[in-house]
Structures are given as C-alpha cells and as structure tokens.
Structure 1
Amino acid sequence: MDLPVMPPVAPMLSKSVAEIPAGASYEPKWDGFRTILFRDGDEVELGSRNERPMTRYFPELVEAARAELPPRCVVDGEIVIAADQALDFEALQLRLHPAASRVRMLAAQTPASFIAFDLLALGDTDLTGLPFSQRRAALVEALAGVGPVIHVTPATRDLATARRWFDEFEGAGLDGVIAKPLDGRYEPDKRTMFKIKHQRTADCVVAGYRLHKSGADAVGSLLLGLYDDDGSLASVGVIGAFPMARRRELFVELAPLVTSFDEHPWNWAAHVDPEVVRRYGGGSRWNAGKDLSFVPLRPERVVEVRYDHMEGRRFRHTAQFNRWRPDRDPSSCTYEQLEQPVTFRLDNVVPGLGGSGPRS
C-alpha cells in the first residue's frame, strides 16, 4: 500500500458542548465503529479509533471498497449495521469475533455499511491540510453514485435543519449532531469538532454493586434497575464515575443493604438462560477474563442518573450520577418515566440504509 496518508491514523475527535454552535457544517452523529478506510487498488485496510485494524471483521466492506470507492483514497467514516429502519449496535458488537467462520456467517446475515464523512486523501493528493469545506466538497464529488454498501453522510450548513435533525434522527438510532468548523484542517487525535448529544435523567433502583479493582473496600460501579410492566426488575446499566474517597464511603453506606441472591430479583444462579448468567454472574463475551459478578443489594435506594439514549431496554452508554432520591419509592422507578424518541425511518436519513435483511 502506497498512499499519501498511510495507516495507522488516529481519527480527528469531537468535544461535547451543550448547544449546537452557529456557523458550522452539521452532520448526524452516527452510532457505530469509527473507522478510517484506506484503499490502494485491491489493497484495503480498515483502521479503528484506537488505530487497530478492523479489516478481518468486515470482509463485505473490503469487497464494497473495491467495487464502490475511487481506486486510491483514504476516507474517514463509521461502520454501522442497519436493521428494521434503525441502527443495531448490538449486532455490530457481535461482529468482533475471533473465529473467521463466524465472521463470514455474520457478514452474510447482518451485513455492515460504511458511512463516509471526510476525505483525507484522493489519488496522490493529501487533503488533510485543506479546510473542511473543501474536503467535504471533494468527498461528495469523489463518492458520487456510491452504494449500496457505502454512503456519504448528509450534511447541512443550516442551523434550523441541524436542530430538526437532532430531534428527529434519534428515532432511527442516531446519537445526536456533529458540528464541524468550515475552515478546520484534519487534525488526527485532536478534539476540534463539536458533538451535541441528548441528555436525559431517570430515577433508577440501585440493586447491586461491583467491587473496585483496587481492592475489597471500595465500590467500582452501581448496578441500576427499572421495573417492567409485569413488576420484574430489569437491569438497565451502571454508574461508576466516583472519586476514590466516595467509593469507600459507598462501600460502608451500602453494607446494611447487602443481601443474598436467594432474596434478590437477579438470582442469576437460578436461571438456565446463558444470556442471564453472562449478564449477572458469568464472564463477559467481549473479555473472557472480566468478572461480571456483583454484590446483591436489597432494591431500596433510588438514584437519579443522566443518560443519552436507550439501546433496547438498557442505557446505550454508561450513565452518570446526578443525585440520590430518598424521596422516591423504588417501585415507582419504571420504564414509563423514560422519554420516547420520535419514530423515524433510517432510510429517510440516508436513502437505501433501511436494513430490511441480508443483501443479495
């Protein structure tokens, strides 16, 4: 491979801001695997955000790059999987499997797509020193007519449109809006873009904790639950960003609530469902050495947390501690309190990205 921009390249990053800034180029914030795609003829490499190769996990994207992209280019974008008119991040995670046979099977069953949003090189030309407005124009021209696997992300300079996208596109599984300075050069590993994400709060039951890795006298993370319509307590996520002194205080504060699994709604040992065992007591499927067992607590304390959005029945990302809610009855912590995003079809964001099933 011989390109003007060579792998590995650390992607340019974004920093969180509360409001959509004026005077920028705006794009949907895609919820997938950030990837820089390098093509030099038949040679194709997919580099992840941590600069590790992702090529072996997405053979269908290698084929698509050869069929759809210019012969020599470097494109920044996002790997996503679309299903039932929304993004499916869980299906995307399943693609990171060590067995080549499993990867091939999943590539056929849940094929990925690549959303292109920046052009770093084309032919023999390094574009990273150009302002983004010129790189965007070059991207649109160079990738005109791509598909059905590779797509160019929509973009607008109209602030009102960006605000509408922020409200509407979440219903298709997107993560917010990215604002890019029009005159910005491509700066690897620098937070020169801006991201605006949804922020919401929810009152959750604290149903257990995991010990901190430093020892047995500090809380690592609190396990959160919400009551379902049938009265069962569902696991929805964790919070864990506490100073070390507070972790030790929580260990003491929560001691009176420690109970046995026999008296706990998450008695994973009584289940035969391997997914339940994995979630509440077994190892992680992403890291076989990671212990996911926890200390069960009587579900009597309520905490208000901040979160961005849901993935199925759980928080998509780690929630953030807001405050304790001693005034709330734990039984009132139900899914009904959660804000529901407006339903929106993914192919209304990018035509042809609905994800109705395996590609022929």
Structure 2
Amino acid sequence: MHEIKYDGYRLIVLRDGKRVRLLTRNGNDWTHRFPWIVEDALKNRRTQFVIDGEAVILGVNGTSDFNALHSRRHDAEVQLYAFDCLALDGEDLRELPLSVRKTNLARLLARRPDGIFVADYEHGEIGPDLFRKACEFRLEGIVSKRSDRPYRAGRSKDWIKVKNRTHPAMERELF
C-alpha cells in the first residue's frame, strides 16, 4: 500500500468515552492545540478508538503547509489525515494486518467530512508512478507499507518512506 507523506506532525488520537487526547510520538499531550480534531473525534458515534495520523494545515494549493502549522497561528484549522486504526471499541487491532486495520479505519470515519479524514492510499505496483506524481505536485514523498503486516511502532522493515529531495522539508532535516 502506498500513501502520500504529509508534511505535518504525527499524532495519536485516543478517544475513551467523552474524553479525547492527542499525543505526539514523544508522548506530549497536544489536545489543547488542535480543537477541530478533538471536536470531530467527539462527534463520532464510536466512543472508544485509537487512530494514528498526521496533523496538517492545507495551503491554498491543497497541499500540507508545514510553515503555517509550525507557526501556531492556525491551530484551529489543523486537520488530521488518519492512516491507521490501532484500537476500536475496546479491541486492540495492532496484531491484525494493515489491510484489515484500514478497513476498520474507513468504517470508523465514514461520513466524517470535517476535521479527521482517511488518508488516501493505493495498492500494488503503482509506487514508482505515485512517487513521481508526488514530486511533480511538490509533495513531501510517499510511504509504502506491506498490507499483510501487524502494526509496529517506530521504524520497521515492513514500510519504507521515500522522500522528495526537492521538497522544503529536506532543508529542515539538514539543520
């Protein structure tokens, strides 16, 4: 499976009843920073879930704008592009294959047109073509994942990130 790599902040969204928390990879609680994501998570009819995604602000051209996100001037506009469902209704889904978790994510977020979206993905041998298009549209790159694998936090041999070397994010990584 191939996904667009968004230029944003990685977040875990945890909903347990009437409480929602947004956690960074380092465990920082950013619930207060992104109210649109919190509000949309609370609108979902399911009251227990954990999703993994990327918090982004879309620029005028429709692509993620990291500088606007980093400035903190637009926190109320930050949306989440969800790419995995780790738990649902009290059931831990991490040992299930990615393809099954994606199906659960799509069901969880069906008809949710507001602050949380399912990140688009493509199947099969389209990876090189998708990467070329991502570069053409000045996106950060793509992430390719094995659809038959369970969830593993951190780096894994089951997924690969391919970055657009001409994207502005590459300059940030140098410093």
Normalised to the residue count of structure 1, the TM-score between the two structures is 0.45
Equivalent residue, structure 1, for 2:168: 310
- CA RMSD between the two structures: 2.1
What is the letter of the counterpart of residue 315 of structure 1? E
Q: What are structure 1's unaligned runs of at least 5 residues?
A: 1-24, 96-104, 200-307, 320-360
Structure number with bigger Rg = 1
1:92 aligns with 2:58: no
The secondary structure found in structure 2 opposite 1:57 is coil
Q: What are structure 2's unaligned runs of at least 5 residues?
A: none
Equivalent residue, structure 1, for 2:152: 187
What is the letter of the counterpart of residue 82 of structure 2? A
Q: Percent identity?
A: 34
The 5 A counterparts of 1:1-360 are: 25-68=1-44, 70-85=46-61, 86-95=63-72, 106-108=74-76, 111-160=77-126, 162-170=127-135, 172-192=137-157, 193-199=159-165, 308-310=166-168, 315-318=171-174
Q: How many residue pairs align between the two structures?
A: 173
What do the CA deviations read for 1:286-329 (whole angstroms, capped 9, x no partner)?
xxxxxxxxxxxxxxxxxxxxxx4226xx934317xxxxxxxxxx
Does the aligned pair in 2 maintain the 1:27–1:177 contact within 8 Å? yes
Does the aligned pair in 2 maintain the 1:59–1:107 contact within 8 Å? yes
Q: CA deviation at 1:190?
A: 4.0
Which has the bigger relative contact order, CA under 8 A and spacing at least 6? Answer: 2
Q: Distance in 2 between matches of 1:172 and 1:317?
A: 20
Q: CA deviation at 1:94?
A: 1.6
Which contiguous aligned blocks of 4+ residues in structure 1 show a shift greater than 6 angstroms?
Answer: none
Q: Distance in 2 between matches of 1:76 and 1:188?
A: 10
Q: Distance in 2 between matches of 1:171 and 1:30?
A: 15
TM-aligned CA distance change 1:67 to 1:182, over 3 Å:
same
Which one is further off, 73-82 or 190-199? 190-199
What is the letter of the counterpart of residue 93 of structure 1? H
The secondary structure found in structure 1 opposite 2:122 is coil
What do the CA deviations read for 1:144-176 (whole angstroms, capped 9, x no partner)?
11222111011111322x333212234555311
Q: Distance in 2 between matches of 1:179 and 1:69?
A: 31
Does the aligned pair in 2 maintain the 1:69–1:146 contact within 8 Å? no
Q: CA deviation at 1:41?
A: 2.3
The secondary structure found in structure 2 opposite 1:35 is strand
What is the letter of the counterpart of residue 101 of structure 2? R
Does the aligned pair in 2 maintain the 1:68–1:147 contact within 8 Å? no
Normalised to the residue count of structure 2, the TM-score between the two structures is 0.88
